[in-house]
Amino acid sequence: MRGLLTVPAGADMAAVIDLDRGWLLHPQVAVRPEPFGALLYHFGTRKLSFLKNRTILAVVQSAAAHETLRNALRGNGVGPADEPPYVHALDVLAASNMLVQRDSQ
Amino acid sequence: MNATSTTPRLIEQFERGLDAPICLTWELTYACNLACVHCLSSSGKRDPRELSTRQCMDIIDELQRMQVFYVNIGGGEPTVRPDFWELVDYATAHQVGVKFSTNGLRITPKVAQRLAKSDYVDVQISLDGATAEVNDAVRGAGSYDMAIRALENLASAGFADAKISVVVTRNNVGQLDAFAALAQRYGATLRITRLRPSGRGVDVWDELHPTAEQQVDLYNWLVAKGERVLTGDSFFHLSGLGAPGALAGLNMCGAGRVVCLIDPVGDVYACPFAIHDRFLAGNVLSDSGFDNVWKNSALFAELRAPQSAGACGSCGHYDSCRGGCMAAKFFTGLPMDGPDPECVVGYGESSLAQPRTMPRPGTDHSRGKPVMLNLSMRPPARACNESPV
């Protein structure tokens, strides 16, 4: 139970995130905010993930409103020094198709 | 990484319960065409008090409001309810995804095509042997062929990623690779879960549950090859066999905290393996709805309170297994604050050797008493021992 995110075994861990592009939650992903962060459920892949704090939730939820993912991080107070665990979590979310690139829709 | 250091560990938050379950099991009917010897809900005959279509839809409305993403529908054989497909459609139209467990009875080519068109329905085919001999000994004659036919129909219709759901027993634990190969053949995912002494399982658990040696093999198989195998988090009692985190999943008991069971008459139990008054939280009809039962039942408050490690308190593995499965202890007549009957240190075995009283399941809808077939696990010494010809 390390990191900001828990994903089921079998998620593809390939690094795919590009912080300088626009990303958003896949339209089939539902978000249920919880005191610890949030539950994410992807109705297409039927995978459940846990976001483990409110900041990563805010980054993910506001991603669509920012031109780039980096802006979404900064907009939620995540500076370059704090960002590695967030980038890792976003990377895993992208690899499991929870986050998709805006122009790949 | 200190982003979570100010808040309790996730697992501790889950142990205190969430405002709504992460997912829940909903047995729609006690009616079943099969009579598996280990049926956890002692199914067979329909209960005349089973919820009406309207009552089921009211529950779905509530689940939607609570943002329960999906329900695991089972039974009995849920597809024998005449309104089954209507309820599936109603749920998915209300943002409640459906995973349903079936023995394959109604998964015709036409139904398979219909299922393939939905993004919100997942199908789980129960199979407890990778061969007809092993499967049919516990699930009944013809049940292997029925399940395989369903898998073929789903694959032909283009239904991606069906689940093959296996209860691991003494007789099929050696077939894990064969199950994985079956799953691959049908483009399906393997799901394996623990045999519990629940329902009719109480009568066969002693002879069917994997031996201590098999538990170790099972654990090693999961760690080595289980990356794409689902387990419903059901083997957390084995997590002490290796390093923390080696076994995928939350590795905690979610009963009444993040999961529960709604039975066919609307009774809410702490988990699917705990159909007994001891674990009955309330009823959706007589206790003002599911949301109220989930949030306010005295039983669930008890399960969400800190638990005593009891006799396990001094064991170095307690942090991993947390005492194991409550239902497995209860139905084998072991104390709730002691070791799991399949405790990896072996404390369960010595407890099982003590005099104990096994509680009977709370409800029984069996049609008579199913009989387990004997398996000849050794090849016959001479061909004529098997065949008179």
Q: How far apart are CA B161 and CA B152, in angstroms?
A: 12
Residues of chain A contacting residue B248, judged by C-beta atoms under 8 Å apart: 8-9
Q: Is the pLDDT reported for residue A3 higher than 60? A: no
Beta strands at A47-51 and B189-194: parallel, antiparallel or unpaired: unpaired
The residue to which tokens 């509530």 are assigned? B62
Residues of chain B contacting residue A2, judged by C-beta atoms under 8 Å apart: 1
Q: Do A32 and B20 touch (CB under 8 A)?
A: yes
The residue to which tokens 């061909």 are assigned? B383
Phi, psi at B100, each rounded to 5°: -120, 145
For B288-319, b/e burial (b = at least 16 CB within 10 A) is: ebbbebbeebebbeebeeeeeeeebeebebbe
Note whether B47 and B265 are within 8 A (CB): yes
Considering only the beta carbons, identify the residue of A30, A35, A55 that sits closest to B95: A30
Cis amide prior to B44 (ω within 30 degrees): no
Residues of chain A contacting residue B120, judged by C-beta atoms under 8 Å apart: 43
Question: How high is the pLDDT of residue B54?
Answer: 98
What is the widest separation between alpha-carbon atoms in chain B? 75
Question: How high is the pLDDT of residue B5?
Answer: 37
Considering only the beta carbons, identify the residue of B119, B228, B248 that sits closest to A43: B119
Chosen from B11, B68, B69 to mutate, greatest number of chain A CBs within 10 A = B69
SS3 B351: helix
Q: Between A and B, how many residue pairs show a Cβ–Cβ distance under 8 A? A: 67
DSSP per residue over A35-77, as a string?
TTEEEEEETTTTEEEEE-SHHHHHHHHHGGGSSSHHHHHHHTT
In the structure, how many helices (H) and strands (E) does chain A have? 3, 6
In this structure, the dihedral spanned by the alpha carbons of residues B33, B34, B35 and B37, taken in order and rounded to 10 degrees, is -160
Query: By a Cβ cutoff of 8 Å, what residues of chain B touch chain A?
Result: 1, 3-4, 7, 9-11, 13, 18-20, 22-23, 67, 69-70, 95, 97, 99, 119-120, 122, 161, 226-230, 245, 248-250
Q: What angle do CA B350, B280, B124 make, to 5 degrees?
A: 80
Strand-pairing partners, residue B190, are B164
Residues of chain B contacting residue A35, judged by C-beta atoms under 8 Å apart: 13
Note whether A24 and A59 are within 8 A (CB): no
Q: Is A79 on the interface with B (CB under 8 A)?
A: no
Phi, psi at B167, each rounded to 5°: -90, 120
Chosen from A31, A36, A49, A55 to mutate, greatest number of chain B CBs within 10 A = A36
Question: How high is the pLDDT of residue B384?
Answer: 55
Q: Is A27 on the interface with B (CB under 8 A)?
A: no
Separation in Å, CA of A27 to nearest CA in chain B: 12
Note whether B363 and B352 are within 8 A (CB): no
Return residues 33-72 of A near B (CB < 8 Å): 34-36, 39, 41, 43-44, 46, 48, 50, 52-53, 55-56
Question: What ipTM goes with this model?
Answer: 0.79
Separation in Å, CA of B303 to nearest CA in chain A: 19
The residue to which tokens 């064969």 are assigned? B178
Strand-pairing partners, residue B100, are B73, B123
Note whether A20 and A68 are within 8 A (CB): yes
Task: Indicate the pTM of the whole model.
Answer: 0.89
Distances (CA, A) of A66 to A77, A95, A104, B246, B378: 14, 20, 16, 38, 66
Separation in Å, CA of B121 to nearest CA in chain A: 9
Q: How far apart are CA B252 and CA B273, in angstroms?
A: 15
Angle, helix A54-62 to helix A83-95, in steps of 10 degrees: 60
Chosen from B22, B23, B123, B319 to mutate, greatest number of chain A CBs within 10 A = B22
Amino acid A52 reads K
Burial class (CB in 10 A: 0-12, 13-18, 19+), B173: buried
Residues of chain B contacting residue A10, judged by C-beta atoms under 8 Å apart: 227-228
For A33-52, b/e burial (b = at least 16 CB within 10 A) is: ebebbbbbbbbebbbbbbbb
Question: How high is the pLDDT of residue A2?
Answer: 38
Overall residue count recorded for chain B in this entry: 389
DSSP B68: -
Average pLDDT per 10 consecutive residues for chain B, totaling 389 residues: 48 88 95 97 97 98 96 97 97 95 98 93 97 98 98 97 97 98 97 96 95 96 92 90 81 91 98 96 98 97 92 90 94 94 92 88 84 65 51
Residues of chain A contacting residue B230, judged by C-beta atoms under 8 Å apart: 8
Q: Which of B103, B86, B241 is nearest to B166 (CA)?
A: B103
Q: Do B4 and A34 touch (CB under 8 A)?
A: no
Comparison of pLDDT for B28 and A96, the residue scoring more = B28
